[in-house]
Structures are given as C-alpha cells and as structure tokens.
Amino acid sequence: MPPPTHLTETGYVYHPLFVWHDTRTHAGLIPPHPVAGVQPGAHYEHPDTKRRIHELLEVSGLLDHLVRITPRPATDLEVGRVHTRRHVEHIRSQSLRAEGGDAGDGHSPLGHGSYDIALLAAGGLIELVDAIARGEITSGYALIRPPGHHATADAGMGFCLFNNVAIAIQHARAATDLRRIAVVDIDVHHGNGTQAIFYDTPDVLTISLHQANCFPPNSGWTTENGSGAGAGYALNVPLPPGTGVHGYRYAMDQVALPALDRYQPDVILVSCGFDASVLDPLGRQMLTATAYGDITRHLLDAADRLCGGRIALAHEGGYSPDYVPFCALATLEALTGTTTGNTDPLAHIVAGWANDPLLPHQKAVVDEAARLVERIRTATPATPATS
Ligand SMILES: [Zn+2]
C-alpha cells in the first residue's frame, strides 16, 4: 500500500550561510563588559544550535528522507510587501559595517553581511512554500537563520531581522493559489511581529502558544484578538511558566486545532521554536522532544484534514545546543513519518520533569482563549491579495 503523500514528499531548506550570520561575542544576552566583570562568551542565538540540528539529521539518516530545496535571496519586492523601506535600509546599512550592528532593539546583533543571509533565509522559506504551492512537495522544514517572528514591519527585535513567515505568506498570497493562511507559532516567546503584521486582516489567522509575559514583555495576552476586519483572527494562549506536555496538549486540543478547523486554511505555516523545551535557557516551559513530535503530528493531521497536507515549518528559536537537535529530529521524524532510531538520549531524565498533569491555572488560561475560537468564521468573502 503506498504511504500517504506527506511521508515521501517533505522538503528541507538549509544553507551553510545560515550559520555564518554572526551574532558576535556576548554574555548570553548582553554585550560583554570585562571591566565590570561581564565576561565575553557566546550569544544565545548562536550558530551551533542550528548546525547541530543539521548534522544530527545527516548522521541519523533522516536527511535521506527529505527533498532538498535550494534557497535564494528574497527580492526587494518580496521583502517590501512586509517591511518598510526604512527598516530594510537599516538592516542593509548595519550589515555593511565591518563591525556589524543591531537590527533595532539593542538585543538583535548582526554581523558583516547578515543582510544578505537574512534575505537568503526569507527566500528559502519562499522557495519551500512555492514548492508546496506547485504540489512538488506537501510539507517541509526550513532550517533558516536568522529567525523572524518578532520582527515587525518597521523594526527588528528579539534576534529577528526580517519576518520570514510574513514575507513567505505575502508572497504566497500574491503569487500562488494559497490565499487563506494560518500561522501556528509554538516558539516559547510571543509571535508579536507576525501578529502585528496581520492584525487587521482575516486573510491570515495567527495562533501563538507561548510563555506568558516572557518576550516581548507585556505582549501576547488573550485580549489581543485582532482588530477591524481582522477581529477574531489573532489568537493567543499565554501559558504560565512551567507548562508541560499535558498543558500544551490541552492548548492544542482546545484552541489551536479547533481554530484551524473553523478557519479552513489553504496552507498552515508553523513558527517552530524549540525554546519551549525543558532545557532551554530562555524559557521556562517543559516540552520534551517526544512532545514536539506529538505536536507536529497533530498539526500534520490538521493539514491532512483541511488543506491536502500542506504545511511548512519555519525555524525560529531554541537555545539549548544539546537538546534542540533531538527536538528537531523528533519533529522531522513526525513530519516524514520515519523513525531513525536516534531517540532522545535525555528522555529518561526529562520525562519526569515535564509530565505534570494539566494544572488549574494553566487550564484557566487555555479555556479563556478557547472561548475566542468561535469568533473565527469558516468562510469569509474573497479579498484580493496584496502586492
Ligand atoms: Zn523564542
């Protein structure tokens, strides 16, 4: 019996330049200050996490199950559908400096040439979505860097330069038959940039599951629910710190999946951050590699049920160099329907930490968000794509 299509047609975007984006010497988040005793070290958004994912995919043999998609730089037109000229010029000029610069908030360093790498990341996701739109593949993972979901139309922030997911969405709406698009953001931080860019339109549904009041501060509450014609089309589930496997499963079952069912998208995009893992330094959530695989399977089932299996995952955050590769492997195993045998070697340690039952304060937040799902209308009048 032939396998379902998504088992054999999963795309994968990666390029060595993605790990050459230089976030420079830091003390985690802040610039070093040796005189004040702040030692130089690595920035949290460090290339190794991404490089180790790619290498584990290769060593485990999973890479053999993926269709390689070659990235190309996003064009001025494509980036300009989302970002202001001022922001694009800011990134370009900072990137021309030999010493690099910052994308906008003082915590998003970039190195010499990072502008071109950011264009390649956005263009890589465009190529993945295009291949899905053409039916060459049904699903895929873009292991791109720098990440994008915090970037707004006019500013970079939170390690993000350009909003890769938003750029790919506006390209899809302008140049393919994929017009009604849902974003599920599972990064531990709020997908504020993507939400802001599509806040006033029902053409894009944004759903963000994140740690409450983590980053950006005071962002991602359930009261942020879209405005104007987009009222009801931004959903937030601000999960309390310490939420584990069962809390996330409840949020998926009560909010994300019912919202997708009501919305009936043409394609699902996932802002995939592995910083909700139990070992992440920049989040306090409790997901395991196994949980990431389960979440992916649920999203894949939704894509199969609603939009011919069309789903694209874009890499966002994830800052534990040791654990993130196993979260990514579990995700890619789920996406391809394969098992490599390279199972999470830390599973026996972390499973007990992450297995708390759904707790009342977590349930209350999810239930509050779930009440907003009914604001999503299954059918909306067709609106012309922007360009
Ligand atoms: Zn994040």
Measure the CA–CA gap between 24 and 16, rounded to whole angstroms. 17
Residues 127 and 71: beta-carbon distance below 8 Å: yes
Expressed in angstroms and rounded, the spacing between residue 316 Cα and the centre of ligand 1 is 6
Which one of the listed residues 87, 107, 150, 246 is annotated catalytic? Answer: 150
Contact by Cβ (8 Å): 216, 194: no
Question: 74: closest CA among 111, 113, 127?
Answer: 127
156 neighbors 104 (Cβ within 8 angstroms): yes
In angstroms, what is the span from residue 261 Cα to ligand 1's centroid?
26
Give the per-residue pLDDT at 134.
97
With residues binned 3-state (H G I as helix, E B as strand, rest as coil), the percentages for the chain, rounded to 5, are 40, 15, 45
Report pLDDT for 7: 45
Element counts in the chain: helices (H) and strands (E): 12, 12
Residue carrying structure tokens 């531990």: 188
Return the ∠ at Cα 16 (arms to 12 and 22), rounded to 5°: 125
Q: Calculate how far, in angstroms, residue 189's C-alpha sits from the geometric centre of ligand 1.
A: 4
Q: What pLDDT is attached to residue 325?
A: 98
**Regions in the chain scoring below 50 on pLDDT:** 1-7, 385-387
Question: Do the beta carbons of residue 285 and residue 211 sit within 8 Å?
Answer: yes
Cβ distance 241 to 285 under 8 Å? yes
150 is catalytic: yes
Q: What is the dihedral of CA 64, 69, 70, 76, to 10 degrees?
A: -160
Chain mean position to CA 351: 24
CA of 273 from ligand 1 middle (Å) equals 6
pTM of the model: 0.95
> What count of Cα atoms within 13 Å lies in the side-chain half-sphere of residue 383?
14
Please answer whether residues 267 and 306 qualify as being in contact, where contact means their C-beta atoms are separated by less than 8 angstroms: no
**pLDDT of 312-368, one tens digit each?**
999 999 999 999 999 999 999 999 999 999 889 999 999 888 888 999 999 999 999
